[in-house]
Amino acid sequence: MDDALRSESGLSSPQRWALIAGGYAFGCATLTAFLLSDALGLFAEVIGLPSALSMPLLATPALVAGAGVWWALIERPGTVTYARGVAFGLLTALLTGVVWTARFVSVWSVEMLTAGPVPLLVGFVLGAAGVAGGLVGLPITYARRRSRGRSDAAETANSL
């Protein structure tokens, strides 16, 4: 089946879907970052990101995390369920948030996480990103399920 699904690039269908999921996660994270730009703009400024590129830069870890989480939760076990899709989005968003929280700590120290409104801001951003991530996991899961259904039907027709 993998040989029949290989593209010109030589990637199998699961590998392509993992890369697609990473790109999709990046796009969704960028959109979410722009929607939360008032809060995230301040965060980007205090960790030293250039203001012109701060929202896409904040979304960048979702590219890698999204591909990895999709591979681990969906493609590797070969089970495409909506619960796994929600988990994909949630974990991708939270991993992205953890990366930037670690960057914040590396710049300002752990003590700053407990100062003033910082814990509230970090909690708000992680919560909003987690909810958004859970929701955006559903459409790509639907697309993958449809894709898998078509490939299974094509394989059945080819074997007859």
Distances (CA, A) of 40 to 7, 136, 150: 39, 20, 41
* Per-residue pLDDT at 149: 72
* Per-residue pLDDT at 5: 46
Backbone φ and ψ for 39, nearest 5 degrees, come out as -75, -40
* Per-residue pLDDT at 3: 46
* Per-residue pLDDT at 81: 95
Backbone φ and ψ for 81, nearest 5 degrees, come out as -125, 160
What tokens does 81 get? 């369920």
Q: How far apart are CA 59 and CA 40, in angstroms?
A: 11
All residue ranges of the chain with pLDDT < 50 are 1-5, 7, 155-157, 159
* Per-residue pLDDT at 154: 53
* Per-residue pLDDT at 151: 62
pTM of the model: 0.83
- Which residue is it, tokens 């910082």? 118
